[in-house]
Chains A and B, each alone.
Chain A
């Protein structure tokens, strides 16, 4: 079946601009996660949705970052007044959270959106 998809794959913007990054999770997955990965580092957690609500947004670095998931499926990560330090690969993952065994909380990642802020 289809995996997690993210659009765009690449986004170049100028400092101070607003950007939106989209994530389409695997159909039926109730949990959705956003991570950010800088060059040479492991992914860093940003926010986690269970259904439509943000269950944990402790990783959002500041109030310029916001994410929504209005219908419990597609999610959009929004970054206002972008800064050069926001340049990174933004990864989205989803997990089923139903079923049996440890696989229900396995996270399935998309290919990421590479954001470059000039």
Chain B
């Protein structure tokens, strides 16, 4: 899987938006961009994923650059419960259209949310 680069840590205030960046300059045409997060003392949980277009779900939004070499996870109103490590992961879907198999986690971004 192609490599991703994220800042080690970021801070935010409660109820403010948070933009978590991810660089993936070697992304291939069949790589999906996935985001997972890991709350303290829990296993990772899926947040969102996308290929080319921006995506929204109940948890977050994903903004993907036009050249796909970077993306940003957007939390519209951070809460204390959003304090976690956020991982940006590329997954190659291949010819079959699926990306079964391992997730390759980096160090992620530690998000601290201040009350």
Contacts and interface: CB of A to CB of B under 8 A. Distances in A.
A84 interface: no
Contacts, number: 62
In which size bucket is the chain B interface? 20 to 34
A4 B44 CA distance: 12
Given A45-B104, A59-B102, A102-B32, A91 B46 contact: no
Given A102-B32, A102-B49, A111 B102 contact: no
In which size bucket is the chain A interface? 20 to 34
Given A102-B32, A102-B49, A43 B100 contact: no
26 contacts: A35-B103, A42-B105, A42-B106, A42-B107, A42-B108, A43-B105, A44-B105, A45-B102, A45-B104, A48-B100, A48-B101, A48-B102, A50-B100, A55-B100, A56-B102, A91-B43, A97-B100, A105-B98, A107-B44, A108-B45, A108-B46, A109-B42, A109-B45, A110-B43, A111-B43, A112-B42
